Structure 1
């Protein structure tokens, strides 16, 4: 300690960060623990907090002009290390955040991680209402509630660590009496016009829309306000308590030609799927562009959707136990 004090008086600009700490606090500490505020004196490391506070007061009382000058020099020299310490703290914060993010990502299904990595401010679908008979306004309101609550159930309860997707899910519900009773083609044209005018906000699917028609609004799930309750994988009727929605290809114009891989003749340009599959299988495959409409049609034609395990890497429509139709 005397050697460091002499150095402070004769060549203060050569004091190292460690030496400054020794003068000011009597001991150095691990830089990784700098944020902890632990600055115990070497000989007092075993003292209780009250004893350390007492020593600090005694030291201040006994200080002479020489000691005070040493402390002043050390404080001034310490200012030179402020940028280094600030950079070190910022690096520690970044490393801590990265470690936390890695822990959150561990065990998360790949499709959920890909969705989160896309950093979509919002995501979802455009839904068109086509039933405007008397009394359907209340049914439409109930449907919207069931739709959003089903999304929350799927994203919070059916997949590991996917709850963050629910906070950014924002589908668009369009209610316009001019669309009352219309068939699919006018809806396709309406959707494409919205797309051309950039009325479909970023994150919402631009190559698919959903239809809420009379069949949906008259469904017992709506009248009884039944909420979707997930069942265990392998259940013979996993979609007993939910709605089935029609998802439409807005760009469909004619039947898809027969390919050598599978028979896609008769593909009508739309599919009907359980509402819960809207929020994992349907949207993810649109975002990733890993399936086309012909493949989606074959999947729904090949058998009923099955519940996925929460740890499955990707959502699927079919269980995979039945061969695709040839």
Structure 2
């Protein structure tokens, strides 16, 4: 064995004291000794292959403290000595967050949020979904107000600029860096940025197919995910570009008969005008904009109807914070509402890894 390591020992370093060979070993032939050396060397190589230095083998799994309920109370009361572990709800929430963080395969992803019926929570859904994505991911997320009339998306964050999407188009020749385009957006605490629509309705009506395509060309250089808050019409010029460039659509519907019929008619129109792929991959949001669902609609059957036509359906419960119609702050939402938007973000993020 010493011959194997002889070249690795510095000069003058004392070698190992040979062990007294047992009688049967002394009687063994020279060929047996060579075989033993080779066997020992093989064992040494195998040992090296097994002792890989990485985090998974060297560190013990970190204990996750419960986030709420009686498990958190017991954990805190015993200073962590008693560890009840995570509940099934916490495990599911953590798994959803991991899906939301799925890396983008194409470098940029466009999500169009639309509804033919006003007052159903479309703009609120855009802001809350964008805030959820921006708060859980490390890349940049922007929401664009493409409403042909005066949109209200800018009201969902604290304004940091008086500029609009039209100002960005007028100054597009001077957009070279992220800091240049950041001057035209307002940023929420969640890190979601919003690009406002024109304040003058007479000007905003001129927002065209070409204008929207140019805005998309600009923002895809600096943002990974772009959400578009669409108007309530499907026939205006910008809407053609929105649907042509969208990777996914989110269709918002209230839990009412007329709202559901309007949403279903939207899917029919999209399918009939060459957007069948978007319909199959669409996600329908049943938005509980009112405190109580007094319409008498069977929500389970309504969800089943859309689930048969689209990829997924997500229910967003009523939330007093969203009812105010002001700035959207994820921290002010009820836990069930935050979980619903996390679920929505996770469903959409399932498509992030697809190869285009």
The normalised TM-score by structure 1 is 0.31
The normalised TM-score by structure 2 is 0.29
Structure of greater Rg: 1
Structure with the bigger RCO (C-alpha within 8 Å, sep 6+) is 2
